[in-house]
Chains A and B, each alone.
Chain A
């Protein structure tokens, strides 16, 4: 039987439906798992994404030809039957299920298996072949449980506020920032946001997602006008002159990479919170098991290690080379998790 999906230098391709999934080169028809810039790119003839992802894509990509689809809704594209299912990565994010002649393949996009209180929770989808990310595909990555994380961040903020310090928290503009907003206790103090984050907040609020009140940190907003504030900033704004107006401050960074002491120290932030919108080791393994798939393709992350591990677990596992970044710490442009 021919493969349902193939891997080309433009992206993941479905010959039966003549479409690509999350392509990185211009193609006619692109199915998009979620709005992060390494998955939703400019230059495609037409796009298909979930109703929850569409607003952010329009915000970021401008005038595009975009059709939307609900979770679980089936659509026929050529000879392929296609549906989108929650990936739990960011609000609106999806795994894409493609069925051709009874053979089912699923592209995970980016995903996490724990509920973050904001994104539609991950749903395992039965399939024959599963195309998975493995950004954190090593057994050293185990995420802090959400309740402990909440306590850690709130304590940090409250302690800083009591000591007259601003709390500056670095997080990606789409997903991580809003997840943290949904996590923190807004009674501790005012919440200020960097422009890139506030814009995304607005997009998400407009589509009906409830977030605590935030104030866009314009130039006249300082530690004096908003004492004891929590400032949500993009990673690239951390440590720049932009943060100076907030006076004495404690800085923190929220990322899965913060599980590693060396990386935490290299970031030179005061605190590192271990939180990711990608699956940790147990999450990846559980998700793969739940699909019932026997054939696994690892796209980005610790692919070769993860492939070997899966092979030893009895899977028919492969590595495919893609242009997705996963959760990056180092890109100075607004890269995403």
Chain B
């Protein structure tokens, strides 16, 4: 695994994508094919099955390191990564036998067939034969989640450099539900038919937030539609089967069983990009309703009637088995509309209607209605645009509505994890109620590093009380909290729950007694909840 550790170190040490890409390309040119395939799999979120619980790993690591469990936990909370904590606290390895990445992954797979005592022996042996970086990577494989700052884009770019194949083709080849057990380097990368796998999705096309309307040119060149607040998904109907993919490449087919009827009404060889929405009486339900369906592998009947979903269709990527992504948007949407028109009304699919507008002022007005109809804003797409892959500027823009905001008082602070381990970055905020402060949300993001440093220094000097890792601070600082939605929530003391809360501004100009009140918050709930 030495060459994999070297690859990791080269990637991890650098902040420059050119360096990371070069490191990956070197690796793809020289490594063993099986190791290469595993590397692609790991960096695209395909990891071996978990065979050991995190709890056991902690216990064993603490035991080997001679630490009490609480001290291991304290260390973990500072490091923010279990595998890294384990790699750091263990005594230095006594052996160093260089085995391949595939060897260690196979070792992990075999662990599942052993009883607990033998599993423990296997893992302790591995820890004792791997130098720190390899030990970290091995443990990372055990704990799952292999996010190390390598995007799928970087992988495809490096593969393109190493193999000479075009990037978009490689991106497409890497999509779908292959694993190193079902594919080989040869079948996945070298072979040239990306459609061999019927379930394989196309890469999603994503938009940036619009900077300014001024550069867009004549309104007539553009299609506007609502930006719906659901789950972006890609529906694939091929070979009499249907598959539903999320943007994060999760297969969601079984979570939304009502969409299975679509394959009866849409022809084979159809791929649609759209938004899964909880939907009733021709209106989207709140994201809260959809949230109940997320994460459920099977859906009870009650939930199916309470929060039925539809596919709000945005775009057509494949028609009659042909990849039509290069055709102009206007043409793709016309075909999409005619396909949807042929389905009965009760079929859970709708066309995301175009928003009519003659001038940008019209469109701005339409955008202002977003919140009333349950949308997040508008999408602007050039009528002659192809369907590209990844986040690109120019042809597609999202034009989200401004968030809701409230001025709140910081009352607790907690240190962050990982990158933010020695900074206080996680705060609890309160609104005023008479002379009291009622906590109503936490927020972690939105400030600059300099602001986080300033607050960290202040928290250190102004801690009133400690509750474990949480510091109570005097109510001094007011922050503007921005959020996307507000819901009633009996679980919270304040009675509300916010969607995507973050700090939009540090209101150094505002004293605490000018922060918003619980009544203000309740009024927002009444208006927007």
The chain A residues found within 8 Å of chain B, CB to CB, are: 138-142, 257, 259-263, 265-266, 268-272, 302, 304-305, 308-309, 312, 329-332
Nearest CB in chain A to that of B12: its residue = A261
Instruction: Give bound CA distance, A138 to B68, whole Å.
Output: 12
Nearest CB in chain A to that of B148: its residue = A261
29 contacts between A and B (CB under 8 A): A138-B74, A138-B78, A139-B71, A140-B75, A140-B85, A140-B89, A259-B88, A261-B418, A262-B79, A262-B417, A262-B418, A262-B420, A263-B419, A263-B422, A265-B12, A265-B15, A265-B419, A270-B15, A302-B74, A305-B71, A305-B74, A309-B68, A309-B71, A330-B422, A330-B423, A330-B457, A331-B457, A332-B450, A332-B453
Q: Please tell me if B475 contacts chain A, counting CB pairs below 8 Å.
A: no
Nearest CB in chain B to that of A312: its residue = B68
Instruction: Give bound CA distance, A308 to B73, whole Å.
Output: 13
Nearest CB in chain B to that of A251: its residue = B15
Kindly list chain B residues whose C-beta atoms are within 8 Å of the C-beta of A259: 88
Let me know if B84 and A139 touch, CB within 8 A: no
Kindly list chain B residues whose C-beta atoms are within 8 Å of the C-beta of A140: 75, 78-79, 85, 88-89
The winner among A265, A302, A332 for most chain B CB atoms within 10 A is A265
Kindly list chain A residues whose C-beta atoms are within 8 Å of the C-beta of B356: none
Let me know if A262 and B421 touch, CB within 8 A: yes
Nearest CB in chain B to that of A262: its residue = B418
Instruction: Give bound CA distance, A143 to B139, whole Å.
Output: 21
Min CB gap B451→A, angstroms: 12
Q: Please tell me if B466 contacts chain A, counting CB pairs below 8 Å.
A: yes
Instruction: Mark interface residues in B438-469 (1 if CB within 8 Å of A CB, else 0).
Output: 00000000000110010011000000001000
The chain B residues found within 8 Å of chain A, CB to CB, are: 12-16, 65, 67-68, 70-71, 74-75, 78-81, 84-85, 88-89, 149, 417-423, 449-450, 453, 456-457, 466
Instruction: Give bound CA distance, A265 to B419, whole Å.
Output: 7
If the complex has contacts A138-B75, A268-B15, A309-B71, are A330 and B456 also in contact, measured as CB distance less than 8 A? yes
Instruction: Give bound CA distance, A332 to B85, whole Å.
Output: 29
8 A-B pairs with least C-beta separation: A262-B418, A262-B419, A140-B88, A330-B453, A266-B419, A140-B75, A305-B74, A139-B89
Kindly list chain B residues whose C-beta atoms are within 8 Å of the C-beta of A266: 419-420, 449
Let me know if A139 and B15 touch, CB within 8 A: no
Instruction: Give bound CA distance, A104 to B457, whole Å.
Output: 34
Kindly list chain B residues whose C-beta atoms are within 8 Å of the C-beta of A142: 88
Let me know if B420 and A308 touch, CB within 8 A: no
Kindly list chain A residues whose C-beta atoms are within 8 Å of the C-beta of B420: 262, 266
Min CB gap B185→A, angstroms: 29
Kindly list chain B residues whose C-beta atoms are within 8 Å of the C-beta of A272: 13
Nearest CB in chain B to that of A140: its residue = B88
| Given A139-B88, A271-B13: 11 more A-B contacts, CB < 8 Å | A139-B65, A139-B75, A142-B88, A259-B88, A262-B421, A263-B422, A266-B419, A268-B15, A308-B70, A331-B453, A331-B457
Kindly list chain B residues whose C-beta atoms are within 8 Å of the C-beta of A312: 68
Kindly list chain A residues whose C-beta atoms are within 8 Å of the C-beta of B78: 138, 140, 260, 302
Kindly list chain A residues whose C-beta atoms are within 8 Å of the C-beta of B80: 262
Instruction: Give bound CA distance, A329 to B422, whole Å.
Output: 9
Min CB gap B139→A, angstroms: 13
Kindly list chain A residues whose C-beta atoms are within 8 Å of the C-beta of B12: 261, 265
Min CB gap B6→A, angstroms: 13
Kindly list chain A residues whose C-beta atoms are within 8 Å of the C-beta of B417: 262
Instruction: Give bound CA distance, A312 to B66, whole Å.
Output: 13
Instruction: Give bound CA distance, A140 to B71, whole Å.
Output: 10
Kindly list chain A residues whose C-beta atoms are within 8 Å of the C-beta of B65: 139
Nearest CB in chain B to that of A261: its residue = B84
Min CB gap B8→A, angstroms: 11
Min CB gap B317→A, angstroms: 36
Min CB gap B205→A, angstroms: 29
Min CB gap A136→B, angstroms: 11
Min CB gap B247→A, angstroms: 25
Kindly list chain A residues whose C-beta atoms are within 8 Å of the C-beta of B456: 330
Instruction: Give bound CA distance, A28 to B419, whole Å.
Output: 43
